[in-house]
Amino acid sequence: MDKGRLFIFSAASGTGKTSLAKALIESMPNLAFSVSHTTRPPRAGEQHGTHYYFVNQEQFDEMVAADRFLEHATVFGNFYGTSRAAVENMLRQGKNVILDIDWQGAHAIKEKMPESVSIFILPPSRAELKARLIKRGQDSREVIESRMRQAMAEMAHYPEFDHVVVNDDFDSALGDLRAIITGVGSPRPLNVDIQALLSD
């Protein structure tokens, strides 16, 4: 059995990477999602073991000490980590695996697993990203402004990734990602002025 491949999805909060990853997994039977551990509380509708493994700080620290994470990071005051055993087990089974992590985690994974494929997903504009964050209805105005500032810093790291996909139209972005994962066809040329996105 051939070993699976690891695909790293990174994006600013609100860009839609988790929804894209879910749609890909539903339509591609050999694709699996790596469920991260986190110390943040569950949001409405999130289930333990499906969206995240929700653990307390002591449990998380014990996993760090035991070197059970491929990477771990602090995001907005909460801790996130990718289980080494879970990822390696799926790859050995021939599954292609998606990791949904930030750019720092992507760097850490690339150092340990250089054969992994990193993909950065961008919104079509700053205004659209803010509109998506507001539409989620999960955060206060202050938190949204904080996430927007963080998004600008995160998106500046897009050149460090193997591929860049713009989520301007969900189905089109899905097709771009499917082309990268399968190696069949080509993703669309970038249809957004990224420098304008980062500086407007």
* 109: in domain: yes
Q: How far apart are CA 43 and CA 46, in angstroms?
A: 6
In the predicted model, residues of the chain with pLDDT beneath 50 are none
Kindly report the pTM of this predicted structure. Answer: 0.85
CA atoms within 13 A on the CB side of 94: 4
pLDDT at res. 198:
80
Determine which helix (DSSP H) or strand (DSSP E) holds 133, and give its type and residue range.
Answer: helix 126-136
pLDDT at res. 88:
93
Domain coverage including residue 138: 6-34+95-199
pLDDT at res. 42:
95
| Greatest C-alpha distance within the chain | 50
Q: How far apart are CA 196 and CA 81, in angstroms?
A: 33
Q: Report whether 190 contacts 120 (CB < 8 A).
A: no
The Cα angle at residue 113 between residues 34 and 91, in degrees rounded to 5 = 45
Our count of domains for the chain comes to: 1
pLDDT at res. 141:
84
Report the CATH number at residue 144.
3.40.50.300
